[in-house]
Amino acid sequence: MKMLAVGLGQAGTKIADLFIGWEMKQPVKCFNAIAVNTAKSDLMGLKNIPMENRVLIGETAVKGHGVGANNKLGAEIAMEEIDVILGAIDRMTKSDLDAFLLIAAGGGGTGSGAIPVVARHLKELYDEPVYALFILPAEAEGDIYTLNAARSLKTLIGEVDGTFLVDNGAFLRYGESVKEAYDRINAEIVRRIGLLARAGEATSHAKVGEVVVDASEVLNTIGRGGITSVGYAQEAIEKRARGKHTFLDDLGKATRVISIVKRAVRGKLTLPCDYTTAERALVLFAGPPVYMTRKGLDKARQWLEGEIAGSEVRAGDYPNPKADFLAAVVALSGVTESQRLKELFERAARAQERIKEVAEEGRRRFEELFEEAEDIEPLF
Ligand SMILES: Nc1nc2c(ncn2[C@@H]2O[C@H](COP(=O)(O)OP(=O)(O)OP(=O)(O)O)[C@@H](O)[C@H]2O)c(=O)[nH]1
Ligand SMILES: [Mg+2]
């Protein structure tokens, strides 16, 4: 399917840029991208998005230095300069566009503030569905980031057709800082979402897929509101076996498909959640065509239907003759139970309360302090 990625803020623009970089090696192109930020040096540092598609906003307010994690200011600037943003998007909107993908981190100020603003305007202006790819701060990133993310997500969720959530904390290794993990997390995001976006392109790429899912099936899974968490698993194909794929009989192939799909669902999801509460799911199995099996996909689909709350499970394959691995990406949509998200909202509510208390207390103490100066005559 054809997507227009709109990266907002530093994390959002970096990830949008990576989608374009990743595609350069792919036979079929799915993504175009726009980058929007209040920080000039971050915009300049991108590698793949053409200069004319990089939009600096808020220059009068913040002089190209970012909004310093103030997402209310981020939202204000986006509102004031929405015409500039929409103009850039409009120039890149072609007739074959299937969907918009807005990308931002919730923790900061620019992307976090801008994403619901841009979403609302795109929904008003276009018929194509608008999705969000939203990054949650890891627990270690602190209260302000948590509050920003909660505030932005609460506003965003009602403005888009569906939201992919990614928890930065979900991919952290023991002892690793969030910053050290960015590249790995970003690569993980691009691989998973990139593969989903390619689903509809399978037919033009290789005729040999057993079960083709088209763009509309992906859209129907993700695009009916709510949250989507994405799982992924892969398995190398032994070098020895590569030349003689046929040694696997259909049952062997099917067993392999099911086992990889199960690992994708039970392994690290982009948002840690109870996947059994999902209402809909989409399985995409990728690898050399000779490993594709309708029976395997049917079995995997049946298994997942039994696991999740809803019964809407779609499955298809993405044949790639050159791949030296088999992979399954699974989108779990309409998820309603996530301890991680619950904790994030609770912590954000506490942080908001504390910020209010501290501000009131500060004001009171300040007034008290200047009471001592009551009898002193001012200069003018
Ligand atoms: N996964 C991932 N997260 C990132 C990356 N860069 C920043 N973040 C996260 O994004 C959040 C901060 O948001 P940014 O995108 O840096 O902020 P911004 O939108 O540029 O807003 P301001 O800098 O405040 O103007 C934090 O939770 C960071 O951990 C990245 O490359 N990958
Ligand atoms: Mg920034």
Summarised one tens digit per residue, pLDDT across range 179-201 is 999 999 999 999 999 999 988 77
- pLDDT at residue 213, as a whole number: 84
pLDDT at 177 over 50: yes
Q: What is the pLDDT at residue 83?
A: 98
- Taking the CA atoms of 338, 286, 214 and 92 in sequence, report the sign of the dihedral they define: positive
CA 49 to centroid of ligand 1, rounded, Å: 18
CA 5 / ligand 2 centre spacing (Å): 18
Ligand 1 centre and the CA of 108: distance in Å? 5
Give 3-15 pLDDT, tens digit per residue: 999 999 999 999 9
**Ligand 1: residue whose CA is nearest its atom 6:** 11
CB 287 within 8 A of CB 320: yes
Atom of ligand 1 nearest to the CA of 104: 15
- Please compute the mean of the pLDDT values over residues 226-253 and round it to a whole number: 79
User: What's phi and psi for 193, nearest 5 deg?
Assistant: -70, -35
Q: How confident is the model at residue 210 (pLDDT cuts 50, 70, 90)?
A: low
Domain 3-205 class, CATH top level: alpha beta
Indicate if the pLDDT at residue 127 is higher than 50: yes
**What pLDDT is attached to residue 275?**
98
Quick one: what percent of the chain has pLDDT higher than 90? Answer: 83
d(Cα 326, Cα 252) in Å, to the nearest integer?
14
pLDDT tens digits for 342-364? 999 999 999 999 999 999 999 99
How does DSSP classify residue 93?
-
Beta bridge partners of 135: 105, 166
Residue with CA closest to ligand 1 atom 17: 108
The residue among 44 and 317 whose pLDDT is bigger is 44
Q: Is the pLDDT of residue 241 over 70?
A: no
Per-residue pLDDT at 204: 47
Ligand 1 atom closest to Cα of residue 189: 1
Q: How far is the CA of 284 from the centre of ligand 1 (A)?
A: 29
Angle at 134 between CA 23 and CA 337, to 5 degrees: 125
Q: Tens digits of per-residue pLDDT, 165-175? A: 999 999 999 99
Which ligand is located closest to the Cα atom of residue 17? 1
- Rounded to an integer, the average pLDDT of 39-47 is 97
Q: Which ligand has an atom closest to residue 111 CA?
A: 1
**302-354 pLDDT per residue, tens:** 999 999 999 999 999 888 888 899 999 999 999 999 999 999 999 999 999 99
Q: Name the residue with the closest Cα to ligand 1, atom 7.
A: 11
Closest ligand relative to 108 C-alpha: 1
Distance (angstroms) between ligand 2 centre and the Cα of 10 equals 5
Q: How far is the CA of 135 from the centre of ligand 1 (A)?
A: 8
Higher pLDDT, 138 or 241: 138
Please tell me the least confidently modeled range out of 106-110, 286-290, 357-361: 286-290
pLDDT, mean of residues 93-120: 97
Mean pLDDT (whole number) for 252-268:
95
Supply the residue whose CA is at minimum distance from atom 32 of ligand 1: 182
Q: Which residues contact 167 (CB under 8 A, 6 or more apart)?
A: 135, 136, 138, 270, 271, 272, 340
For residue 71, which atom of ligand 1 is closest to its CA? 24
Would you list the domain boundaries of the chain?
3-205
Residue 9 CA, ligand 1 centroid: distance in Å: 7
- Distance CA(210)–CA(289), nearest Å, equals 8
Average model confidence (pLDDT) for the chain? 93
> Whose C-alpha lies nearest to ligand 1, atom 8?
11
* 265 CA distance to ligand 1 middle (Å): 27
Across 255-269, average pLDDT: 97
Q: Which residue spans within the chain are E strands per DSSP?
A: 3-8, 31-37, 54-56, 99-105, 130-136, 162-167, 227-236, 280-287, 312-319, 325-333
* Ligand 2 centroid distance, CA of 38 (Å): 7
Q: Please report how the helices 82-92 and 71-80 are oriented relative to each other, as an axis angle in degrees rounded to 10.
A: 70
Q: How far is the centre of ligand 1, averaged over its atoms, from the C-alpha of 105 (Å)?
A: 5
Q: What is the mean pLDDT of residues 4-31?
A: 94
C-alpha distance from residue 70 to each of 114, 137, 143, 350 (Å): 11, 15, 13, 18
Among 10, 76, 103, 112, say which to mutate for ligand 1: greatest number of ligand atoms within 8 Å of CB.
Answer: 10
> Which residues line the pocket of ligand 1, CB cutoff 6 A?
9-12, 14, 38-39, 66-69, 105, 107-112, 135, 137, 141, 145, 168, 178, 182, 185-186
How does strand 280-287 pair with strand 325-333? Answer: antiparallel
Looking at the CA of residue 8, tell me the nearest atom of ligand 1. 19
| Ligand 1 nearest-atom number relative to CA 111 | 19
* DSSP codes joined into one string, 144-155: HHHHHHHHHHHH
Ligand nearest to the CA of 172: 1
Place of tokens 């970012």: 66
Give the ligand at the shortest distance from the Cα of 105: 1
Q: Among the atoms of ligand 1, which is closest to the Cα of residue 138?
A: 27
**Prediction pTM value:** 0.95
Alpha-carbon gap, residue 161 to 150, rounded angstroms: 18
